[in-house]
A and B are shown apart, each in its own frame.
Chain A
């Protein structure tokens, strides 16, 4: 069974979202997603300063097997990308919830976060897809 940290929010596209103390949110892909993709060889992160809407394809994770889009879980402005992944995409496989984060954004509306799944709902989704 995949690890699903209880303090995070999730999307049905297998992204996780963490609210930071400064009001920004950090986004990555879940343990389940990295495992399904296989070993990553390239990661493309969105440009800092760009504006994204919820559901926009804004990053790409590419494994030995296939390329997959990562969607913005909520709308906002991109504040940072994880530049370390350019040389070490395997961090997403090894530590998807910590060193393998993809990008950080400032939400247009904090309330959008409430629309996302909690850990329990995401676990139920995984159980359903198994």
Chain B
């Protein structure tokens, strides 16, 4: 028995298959994970992401504190509501977690962290917060859902507390607040949409209203194939404390400028040439690539970190770490056989369309 979100009873009532995820009882699907995937790519779907940790960082030196613990530079967040994606590193450059940071007010940032790493994150943040006299406040009173898909914003905007006009006016990676609601134009699917943080007591009503607007409930199964098609990493699979951002395609999130910004992990990633290349793979024929399968290349062996079936492409796709210098044609060891695959640059799918070469 794991933690339950405020929507748990609704998931069960809707016939969801419930699985453990990061200590939480979460819906894997509501009947067909593939149909849910297509609903998000073609129309709109809604995910319960209340298992994720919403943590407020408050204090006059909140920005300085985040500048110390984040690999991306919070000085990029100047206008209230602006957000970015970043990693939090340990001294060895290992990834403690990946998170989204929202700048909400001069002395108020909000971060959203993974369920499975929440406790470790909080311990790390508390450990470093003292020097900056900031408060790190987990918001157990809030819940969160993600509405994603080409129709998502239009269908969700009339239902949110911030008002439809304010919601529809949001630019990507921006958020707006009203009465404990935060509506952000962010997501984890490669589609447009909102992530909505709101009081736990209000999420069931929003969920029902979205459903009656024709937004399809979608589970973690679809969330995983959608994020993989979008070329987005999953913590614990594509990265953890044993790899640096340079080894999982996230060098772009590490802000080395200005040179005097002393963030934790800087020394371990600055000027370092990684020995591995993080790449997307498309399997040439039938079969499905899975995590931990060996990738044979002309420069040595690599490993699949995330692999699945792509419902949009009708092929198996994967993220993998292979040796630097390897050619683009590789073989993946699947159930005792070597099957040909080729390297591509993720994302595989953007806004519903394949954007990689399938052959």
Contact = CB atoms under 8 A, between A and B. Distances in A.
Contacts of A64: 33-34, 221, 225, 308-309
Given A41-B288, A42-B286, A67-B288, A60 B33 contact: no
Most chain B CB within 10 A, of A42, A64, A67, is at: A64
Contacts of B130: none
Contacts of B32: 39
B287 A39 contact: no
Interface in B269-295: 286-288, 290
20 contacts: A38-B221, A39-B32, A39-B33, A41-B34, A41-B309, A42-B287, A42-B288, A42-B309, A44-B286, A60-B335, A62-B287, A62-B309, A64-B34, A64-B308, A66-B290, A67-B287, A67-B288, A67-B290, A67-B334, A67-B335
Please name the 7 residue pairs, one residue from A and one from B, whose CB atoms are nearest each other, closest first: A41-B309, A42-B286, A62-B288, A39-B34, A64-B309, A64-B33, A67-B335
Interface residues of B, number: 13
A60 B288 CA distance: 11
A71 to B, nearest CB: 14
A62 B335 CA distance: 11
A38 B287 CA distance: 16
A66 B286 CA distance: 14
Contacts of A41: 34, 288, 309
Nearest to B17: A38
A126 B106 CA distance: 60
Contacts of A62: 287-288, 309
B111 to A, nearest CB: 31
A39 B38 CA distance: 14
A62 B308 CA distance: 11
Interface size class of A (residues with CB under 8 A): 10 to 19
Interface string A25-63: 000000000000011011010000000000000001010
A44 B339 CA distance: 14
Contacts of B288: 41-42, 62, 67
Nearest to B34: A39
Nearest to A66: B290
A66 B288 CA distance: 8
B257 to A, nearest CB: 42
B301 to A, nearest CB: 21
Contacts of B335: 60, 67
B233 to A, nearest CB: 19
Interface string A80-114: 00000000000000000000000000000000000
B31 to A, nearest CB: 10
A38 B286 contact: no
Given A39-B32, A64-B33, A64-B308, 18 more contacts: A38-B33, A38-B221, A39-B33, A39-B34, A41-B288, A41-B309, A42-B286, A42-B288, A42-B309, A44-B286, A62-B288, A64-B221, A64-B309, A66-B290, A67-B287, A67-B288, A67-B290, A67-B335
Nearest to A43: B286
A39 to B, nearest CB: 5
Contacts of B290: 66-67
A67 B308 CA distance: 11
B70 to A, nearest CB: 34
Interface string B209-248: 0000000000001000100000000000000000000000
A56 to B, nearest CB: 14
Interface in B283-318: 286-288, 290, 308-309
